[in-house]
Structure formats: C-alpha cells, structure tokens
C-alpha cells in the first residue's frame, strides 16, 4: 500500500483531499483554463498544490467565510455536472471540476458540513436568520399599526384598539402582575 503524502499537517485535520481541476483566473493563451490541482480541505482552510507531492501550496484560503455550491454553469462540456464553486466573502470565487458529479457533491457537502461546524463554534447561522426575521416582523407590525392609525379612518363598528389591548389577558390575571 502506498501512503499518500500529507503535505499539510500543521493546519488542522484533513477532511478531504484529492485531485480537482481549478479554473485559473488568467487562462494562458495556449493552455487550458482548467488546471489539475491536488486539493486539501482541512478544518481551517482549503489548500491547493501543483500535485500531491508538492510541499508548498500554490494557494490557500480560510474556509469559514465561504459558501460552496454545485454550479453546472461553469463549463459547457460533458463535465459541467462535476463543477462546484466556492464563494469567499468579499474576495473572489474559486471554481473547481471534480472527477465525477458524485465527487463534486461530496466536496460541497464536506465543505458545508465544515462551515456548519465552524459557525456553531461562533454563532449558529440559523439562529441569526430567525432573529432577523423576528425583528423584521416586529418592525412591520409597528409600522403597519402606525400607518393604519394615521391613514385609515377607523371603522365605526370596530373601535380602534390601543397598543395594550392587542395582547389578550386571560381572565383572573392582571397585566403587569409579573
């Protein structure tokens, strides 16, 4: 059994590694815009090397501010279903082609799984979104009720409720008794 060299032992555990084709930012005039790279996903970042024996990465970036998704728009040929993209906040996108659609899916899932892990160490993303939604609905409620009281003429059959009457108080409990 041949042992695969592990060129990046200092940057956290390796979660996934393998050859991917990476789209270069400046395609050479004669060469292909896609270059085969040995790619390594660790707990802290994404590194890519000329090949699996290289000691120095050709490039690397922290993974925590990235988003990963499959993207069949990156290529026009038969391998378009093998493509995925890493979008890093504010910087740039990295485009890759995996050996197969299943491999591309696996890279994306591994990265998304890692991002969930990283975000749970900081602040869970889902909670942040829920809080934003709640704040939005609170804002809408308050602006709606203000708009209604300014713009619409109150319906004579229905007396307009004050702000405190919106919340029902069960019988036997006084408001502000807590």
pLDDT of residue 87: 94
pLDDT of residue 173: 58
**CATH class of the domain whose range is 14-25+32-121:** mainly beta
Mean pLDDT of 54-81: 94
pLDDT of residue 79: 96
- pLDDT over 90 (residue 163): no
Q: Which sign, positive or negative, has the C-alpha torsion 113, 119, 123, 126?
A: negative
Long-range pairs, 4-10, Cβ under 8 A, ≥24: 4/52, 5/52, 5/53, 7/40, 7/47, 7/49, 7/52, 7/53, 7/54, 7/55, 7/57, 8/40, 8/42, 8/47, 8/57
Provide the whole-model pTM: 0.61
- pLDDT over 90 (residue 101): yes
The percentage of residues in the chain with a pLDDT greater than 70, rounded to a whole number, is: 58
**Highest mean pLDDT out of 19-33, 69-83, 109-123:** 69-83
3 state SS of 147: helix
pLDDT of residue 125: 47
């Amino acid at each position: 059994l041949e042992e695969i060299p592990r060129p990046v032992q200092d940057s956290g555990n390796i979660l996934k590694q393998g050859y991917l084709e990476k789209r270069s930012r400046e395609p050479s005039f004669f060469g292909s815009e896609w270059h085969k790279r040995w790619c390594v996903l660790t707990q802290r970042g994404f590194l890519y090397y000329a090949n699996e024996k290289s000691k120095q990465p050709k490039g690397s970036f922290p993974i925590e501010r990235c988003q990963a998704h499959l993207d069949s728009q990156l290529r026009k040929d038969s391998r378009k279903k093998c493509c995925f993209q890493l979008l890093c906040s504010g910087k740039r996108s990295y485009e890759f082609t995996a050996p197969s659609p299943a491999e591309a899916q696996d890279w994306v899932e591994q990265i998304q799984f890692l991002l969930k892990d990283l975000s749970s160490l900081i602040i869970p993303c889902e909670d942040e979104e829920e809080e934003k939604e709640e704040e939005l609905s609170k804002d809408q409620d308050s602006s709606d009720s203000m708009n209604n009281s300014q713009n619409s003429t109150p319906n004579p059959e229905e007396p307009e409720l004050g702000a405190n009457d919106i919340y029902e108080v069960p019988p036997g409990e006084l408001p502000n008794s807590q």
